[in-house]
């Protein structure tokens, strides 16, 4: 994919949030209406024939394109959030990050066995959060599951895709 217009509008911020990190800032893609249109169209083309019934958006940037894509596909949106943010009964998944652990949650009644699920987040780097989201979604035993990102970072030796494994189809609009 690597649409030149998207690449041109993607901002990189060196040494953020700490020295040595080259942060990829998707907010520059969100603020440009042409970038939004391109991302919507490219994601729609990838998934229009997959029978998606639920899109799981991961807090918080995953909510943006997740909601746009869910609406375009005629699917529901499921929010995957940090603990204490969802009002009804949830199931959770704890995972290890670079500097400790974190937990994400989904409402217990959000996914059913006959659902075809697309998990969406803005960025794939180390893979910890998305792997936890996938482990969480698998607890619902959906019919099928896909995974999508706006950006996959591979140029800094990051191997998020390898961490996820080969048991799920993974796509990214931009690979750097």
Catalytic residues: 61, 98
Contact indicator for 98, 127 with CB cutoff of 8 Å: no
Evaluate whether 28 touches 16 at the Cβ level (below 8 Å). no
Read off the tokens for 4.
């030149």
Smallest Cα–Cα separation from 40: which of 20, 25, 55? Answer: 55
The alpha carbon dihedral of 78, 83, 87, 92 has a sign of positive
- Provide the Cα torsion 80, 83, 84, 90; round to 10°: 60
């Amino acid at each position: 994919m690597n649409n030149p217009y998207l690449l041109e509008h993607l901002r990189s911020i060196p040494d953020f949030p700490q020295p040595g990190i080259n942060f990829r800032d998707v907010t520059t893609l969100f603020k440009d209406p042409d970038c939004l249109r391109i991302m919507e169209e490219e994601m729609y083309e990838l998934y229009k024939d997959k029978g998606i019934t639920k899109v799981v958006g991961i807090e918080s940037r995953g909510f943006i394109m997740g909601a746009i894509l869910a609406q375009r596909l005629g699917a529901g949106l499921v929010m995957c959030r940090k603990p204490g943010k969802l009002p009804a009964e949830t199931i959770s998944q704890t995972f290890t990050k670079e500097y400790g652990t974190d937990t994400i949650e989904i409402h217990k009644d959000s996914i059913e066995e006959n659902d075809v699920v697309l998990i969406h987040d803005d960025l794939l780097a180390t893979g910890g959060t998305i792997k936890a989201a996938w482990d969480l979604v698998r607890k619902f035993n959906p019919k099928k599951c896909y995974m999508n990102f706006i950006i996959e970072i591979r140029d800094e030796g990051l191997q998020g895709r390898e961490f996820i494994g080969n048991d799920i189809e993974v796509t990214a609009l931009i690979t750097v």
